[in-house]
Structure 1
Amino acid sequence: MTQNSLIYYLSEHPKIINFRWSHSHSWGSTWSFLLTSIVTYIIVSLILHFLLYYRRRPVPLGPIPALHSLFMALISLTIFTGILFSAAAEIRETRWIWRRTKTTPFQWFLCFPLGTRPTGRVFFWSYIFYLTRFLHTFRTFFAILRRKNLSFFRLFNHSILIIMSFLWLEFSQSFQIVGILLTTSIYSIVYGYRFLTAIGLRSACFPFVINCQMVLLGCNVICHVGVLLLHFQKGGCNGIGAWGINSVLNAAVLLLFLNFYVNSHLRRRRLDGGSVVENNNIIGGSEIKDNKI
């Protein structure tokens, strides 16, 4: 595929240019669908967890998790490229309007002008990103079938990701371009790493996925501060109410993640300490036995 063909299919296709977020035309665009899907996701996860509660061995999944990781890495990379090309096209076509309002491309990435409607290229890829959040929840089912603990953080995090991506479209919320670029870039790396380790690549000597998630959360916090500053500087950013809800949800995810990270680190230290004590006891016992001999 040539560069011109790639640009056409990712930013100039009529379906992308003419996209419009509508409750009557866009699948999954209603509040009832959003609430029903999240409740269904939580209930199915809990039922599956309790059904397998007394099962000791994990359910064999074969190559399904690896294929899922590969698909998510590819779709994340596609969304990243598509929204980047689409944003560049929007900047090129509306630059004359920005000169009158003294708006720079960097400001537009973080702060949509008041009155922005969820139509066009950027919101098409935001819609695709919203749909992929449901595919992301499959990680929960894989974890349950593998007999891993079903944590509140996992259910909460996946549900919040769906809600936030829905709010981006429903209220034409500012910040979503940067949010999608950051998330899809990190996810393409994380899911690519998961795919490679699933097919036999040695894992990193440090918690790679957790560190990537920490980078993503940190960048989101910085960008949210930028949106707030531009909101007061430029006289208002579109969808600032939804942005406020988004910020609260992001803060909750960040606090839960930090709590999960600290507890995991402390648990790892306790396990390492126990193994050191056990090894010392074994070594000491062997020395005593040798002395007796």
Structure 2
Amino acid sequence: MIQTITYYLSEHPSIVNFRWSHPQSLGSTWSFLFASISFYITFSLFLHLLLSLLLRRRKHRPVPLGPIPALHSLSMSLISLTIFAGILLSAAAEIRDTRWFWRRSKTPFQWLLCFPLGTRPSGRVFFWSYVFYLSRFLHTFRTYFAILRRRNLSFFRLFNHSILIVMSFLWLEFSQSFQVVAILLTTSVYAVVYGYRFWTAIGLPSACFPFEVSCQVVLLSCNVLCHVGVLLLHFMKGGCNGIEAWVFNSVLNAAILFLFLNFYVKKHLRKRKFGDFDAIKESEIDMAKDKDL
């Protein structure tokens, strides 16, 4: 059983022989990237405006979606868990097969953060990076659910989803260092958070603290530490592949972190202003709704 899972997650010919290329890989062109993000933003704005006009008199009545959000959360949790297992096994296999090439300059952990110069976007880990990139488009359905259920469309939500799609594209396009650890961290958090969303969507009790926000804080903190590690390795170990894209990604990550902290501080000040338990609970619920992974 374990051997079968390992084969299909890291040793299958489609995984081993994967190569990121514009003619062969779906969604691998810059035109597709910009067109898809433009469509996502435009359609979200259109849907929000349409519902605002049609349902002005029923401001607080959501559009019924039935079990669709719960099924989406369950599927995203399972997809994230699969990507996590796949890239973990694939990274171990890549370390086993290519360590002879870089073992004098890097340890396996350093390789996870800092690819050797000249690394090409092919092989096992890039296959799962590609799957992760495609899964980012499935995450955008959370925006449509928020609009249909609460007519809630925030700039942060649009910015966050769009930027994360761009970053995952850059990982592949420039064979960027750090992506293996980033995908491991992100998919592990996604598997837990989306599993929690499914748990609460089917009527089971929720946590007594802002669970999703806490997970996001942990993820952002780990990303900051790993970015520092990449920077140190780049200057101490002769350079990391795709460092230009990494710099751009770092700027985008900093923007997301700034917006998140700004949102968090505003909610915290609101809690202090109201002071009572109901206001605190309402603030935490609003934060979990507005802040989307």
**What's the TM-score once normalised by structure 2's chain length?**
0.91
The equivalent residue for 1:142 is 145
Residue identity matched to 2:191: S
Query: What is the distance in 2 between the residues matched to 1:119 and 1:86?
Result: 12
Equivalent residues of 2:51, 2:151 under 8 A apart: no
Number of the residue aligned with 2:287: none
Please say if 1:234 is aligned against 2:237.
Answer: yes
Query: Does residue 199 of the first structure (1) align with residue 216 of the second (2)?
Result: no
Query: Residue 52 of structure 1: CA displacement?
Result: 1.3
CA distance in 2, matches of 1:252, 1:67: 31
Question: What one-letter code is carried by the residue in structure 2 that aligns with 1:96?
Answer: W
Q: Matches of 1:52 and 1:261 in 2, distance apart?
A: 28
Matching residue of 1:32: 31
CA distance in 2, matches of 1:74, 1:143: 21
Aligned residue in 1 for 2:77 = 73
**CA gap 1:147/1:108 in 2 versus in 1, 3 angstroms:** same
Alignment-mate amino acid for residue 49 of structure 2? F
Please name the residue that 2:19 is paired with.
20
Q: Are 2:215 and 1:216 equivalent residues in the alignment?
A: no
State how 1:60-209 maps to structure 2 within 5 Å. 60-99=64-103, 101-209=104-212
Residues 177-220 of structure 1: CA distance to partner in whole angstroms, max 9, x if unpaired?
Answer: 00000000000000000000001111111110011001101100
The partner residue of 1:258 within 250, 257, 261 is: 261
- CA RMSD across the alignment: 1.4
Query: What stretches of structure 1 move > 6 A for 4+ residues in a row?
Result: none
**Superposition deviation, residue 270 in structure 1:** 3.6
The 3 A distance-change label for structure 1 pair 228 and 275 is closer
- Point out the structure with max Rg over C-alpha: 1
The Cα shift of 1:273 comes to 4.6
- CA apart distance, 1:272: 4.2
Q: Give the match's secondary structure for 1:11.
A: helix
* Aligned partner (choices 225, 228, 242) of residue 225 of structure 1: 228
Aligned twin of 1:248? 251
Q: How many Å apart are 1:95 and its aligned residue? A: 2.1
3-state SS in 2 of match to 1:25: coil
- CA displacement, residues 230-276 of structure 1 (integer Å, 9 cap, x when unaligned): 00011110000000000000000000001111122233444445979
Query: Match of 1:52, SS?
Result: helix
Distance 1:81 1:128 in 2: 12
Structure 1 unmatched runs, 5+? 277-293
SS at match of 2:153: coil
CA distance in 1, matches of 2:152, 2:205: 24
Mean Cα displacement is larger for which, 266-275 or 221-230? 266-275
Aligned to 1:267: 270
One-letter identity of the residue aligned with 1:21: W
Deviations 1:104-155 (CA, angstroms, capped at 9, x unpaired): 1011000000000000000000000000000000000000001242111000
Describe the shift of the 1:275–1:232 C-alpha distance in structure 2 as closer, same or farther (beyond 3 A): closer
Q: TM-score, normalised by structure 1?
A: 0.91
Deviations 1:62-112 (A, max 9, x none): 00000000000000000000000000001111122233x332101100000
